[in-house]
Structure 1
Amino acid sequence: MANFLEHSQEVLLAEPRGFCAGVDRAIEIVERALAKFGRPIYVRHEIVHNTYVVNDLKDKGAIFIEELSDVPPGATLVFSAHGVSRAVQEEAKARGFTIFDATCPLVTKVHVEVAKLHREGFEFLMIGHKGHPEVEGTMGQLDSGIHLVEDLADVARVSPAQTDKLAVVTQTTLSVDDTVEILAAVKARFPKVREPKQQDICYATQNRQDAVKLLSPQVDVVIVVGSPTSSNSNRLREVALKLGTPAHMVDSAEELQAEWFEDRSRVGLTAGASAPEILVLQVIDRLKALGAISVRKMDGLVETVKFPLPKGLKIEGDDNKPLDHLH
């Protein structure tokens, strides 16, 4: 095969990249449930939006479903990291499943805030992407009173029943910059709106976007490892493009295309929060096979966030140490 990286001597690795604490925890919950209860374990929706992770867990005995009617009575069920609506929670309880909730604690924090403010009489504007499971889960915490705004046009036309008690929540995996712009429009139209005490966009989404902002000006092309369904991975590609750097998202090393690297001497590489490091290593191997000479890690934040596991998943004699999974 032609050496299409003859000009690309260096690969620059973004830091941080890849798995966040919420994804780590969600995968660990499925693996522990399999170890403790045996196969199959049912998971509502993809545990995280990554093809490799989902296929790996399928091989270990996880069955991914969308409808609870597809889960047999008495089975063990895991809710995905994106969270679920109250209706799904109630139906799962009514069907008598053994339930483990892998909802990211930062998404749960948004759900708790919605419930609390709803009791105080608030309506909500939710900034997010229509149809994303996290958005469906958060909006499904209430029967009504949450209005989705995806862009500036939505802000102009949304019509809450009252504006004295109006609060904003957001999907946790949005573009930080886009959200700032939409939030400014919300505040201009609804001056009394209550903002989240701490920004809903999660620390890992923010950190990975910040890293791409540092990376992009230093390279000729950015590769983002992530699946097409992954919101935070898509946002990383957009961040690079907005800074004027060509950027491509790949689900695996096989998707790298020769023409992306023509006359480009430096390749930037990052990964979405649901993409395992093994995929990054495979991309590096492929770039090296095609002529890349060196790999350099950028300086960046070291993330130390860890989330506790749900009760009932301890395996005899392991003291809840992490299982050896997809790192």
Structure 2
Amino acid sequence: MADVRTDEPVKDGVARRVLLAGPRSFCAGVERAIDIVERALETRGAPVHVRKQIVHNVHVVDDLARRGAVFVEELDEVPDGATVVFSAHGVSPAVREEAARRDLDVIDGTCPLVAKVHAKARRFATRGDTVVLIGHAGHEEVEGTLGEAPESMVLVSSAEEVASVPGDGRQVSYLTQTTLGVDETAGVVDALRERFPLLHEPASEDICYATTNRQHALASIVAEADLVLVIGSANSSNSVRLVELARREGTPAELIDGPADIRPEWLDGVRTVGLTAGASAPPDLVTDVVTALGSYGPVTVEERELTRETVRFDIPSAARGGARRTADGGAR
């Protein structure tokens, strides 16, 4: 345990305890995606175009933009032949085909765990299944996965929507977005099993280890907290799920991009703050938030690490300054 104080004026003088849930902040897929853009800037020089946000965090995106990354919504904003990085959330085959047609120098930042879901979608569709994708409409990961087999896939986001899934159950399988809440997804899967007793289930869990670990870590401290703060951007699915988890357990919870978002009224009557960060939030923001809490009064910090993550993903050779790559992964 450590005492954290700042030189700022004390705002209420109340002593508080901060419970740090661990694991928190960057996961291996996020670290890999950021590293890819940084390496591309080093080896190719600015500008390096990135389709969509490389990860869903405003601090990460703003930092990379200052260093020469140009974030675009679609490939028609990228000059012919230019370097483009695909975000960690993955892209559909149609996007890859467009990049190949435009002769773009592609570096694929898709998280390997998302790529596995894409591979399952192709495999299930090829064997003739109706493939149910559990996820949130409009999320970039969902759009990319649906694009793998659009004629064979159905998107559902709740147990209630399962009733609209076509098919007699003999050729129905399911996949999930990697950043969903474990509990909410279980309810949808239960509804699928009830409707389709012969449901084909994936051999391994699609929700990524980092999402699951962060949810379990927060669940282990939420009952002790008077308030939970989750560091993450509003478009970060896994961060939003953490807020929802805390609130389902009856603890007030707020999503913040950083210390400037903390409102003094949130701390009224609060003696214990649970603190975590989504998988795309930089770890130094955790320190900044603890420091900001210390400006209100003395703070005691307790680390609660439930498990230690050792997963690492290699970056593609194209990002290491290797041969130029086409959209389908071939060398030029």
Q: Per the shorter chain, which TM-score range? A: over 0.9
Aligned residues with identical type, % of pairs: 47
Q: TM-score, normalized by length of structure 1? A: 0.93
Distance in 2 (CA, whole Å) between partners of 1:175 and 1:226 is 15
Structure 2 residue 131 is the aligned partner of structure 1 residue 127? no
Deviation at 1:8, TM superposition (A): 4.1
Structure 2 residue 184 is the aligned partner of structure 1 residue 164? no
Q: What are the superposed Cα offsets for residues 277-326 of structure 1, whole Å, 9 maximum, x if unpaired? A: 1111111111112213221111321100001111122259xxxxxxxxxx
Show the counterpart of 2:267. 261
Structure 2 residue 78 is the aligned partner of structure 1 residue 82? no
Deviation at 1:237, TM superposition (A): 0.6
Structure 2 residue 64 is the aligned partner of structure 1 residue 28? no
Q: What are the superposed Cα offsets for residues 91-130 of structure 1, whole Å, 9 maximum, x if unpaired? A: 0111101101111100000111111222211220010000
Show the counterpart of 1:320. none
Structure 2 residue 329 is the aligned partner of structure 1 residue 312? no
- 2:190 partner letter: A
Give 1:208-219 correspondences, 5 Å limit.
208-219=214-225
Give 1:34-73 correspondences, 5 Å limit.
34-73=41-80
Paired residues, what number? 315
Contact 1:211 1:300 in 2 (8 A): yes
Distance in 2 (CA, whole Å) between partners of 1:167 and 1:156 is 15
Contact 2:217 2:305 in 1 (8 A): no
- 2:175 partner letter: V
Distance in 1 (CA, whole Å) between partners of 2:313 and 2:113 is 10
Show the counterpart of 2:327. none
Show the counterpart of 1:300. 306
Deviation at 1:158, TM superposition (A): 2.1
Contact 2:228 2:253 in 1 (8 A): yes
Q: What are the superposed Cα offsets for residues 53-99 of structure 1, whole Å, 9 maximum, x if unpaired? A: 00000001000111111100111000000000110011011110110
C-alpha RMSD of the superposition = 1.4
Residue 181 (structure 2) aligned to one of 175, 187, 198 = 175
- SS of the residue corresponding to residue 149 of structure 2 reads coil
Residue 14 (structure 2) aligned to one of 7, 10, 16 = 7
Deviation at 1:165, TM superposition (A): 1.3
Distance in 2 (CA, whole Å) between partners of 1:175 and 1:283 is 24
Q: 1:5 to 1:137 in 2, by over 3 A?
A: farther
Distance in 1 (CA, whole Å) between partners of 2:126 and 2:87 is 26
Give 1:93-108 correspondences, 5 Å limit.
93-108=100-115
Distance in 1 (CA, whole Å) between partners of 2:298 and 2:275 is 13
Show the counterpart of 1:235. 241
Distance in 2 (CA, whole Å) between partners of 1:30 and 1:293 is 37
The gaps in structure 1 that reach 5 residues or longer are 317-327
Give 1:180-195 correspondences, 5 Å limit.
180-195=186-201
Contact 1:4 1:262 in 2 (8 A): no
The gaps in structure 2 that reach 5 residues or longer are 1-7, 323-332
Give 1:137-152 correspondences, 5 Å limit.
137-152=144-159
- SS of the residue corresponding to residue 125 of structure 1 reads strand
Distance in 1 (CA, whole Å) between partners of 2:10 and 2:280 is 31
Distance in 2 (CA, whole Å) between partners of 1:5 and 1:199 is 46
Deviation at 1:4, TM superposition (A): 4.7
Deviation at 1:38, TM superposition (A): 0.1
- 1:229 partner letter: N
- 2:266 partner letter: W
Q: 1:230 to 1:292 in 2, by over 3 A?
A: farther
Moved more, 4-13 or 296-305: 4-13
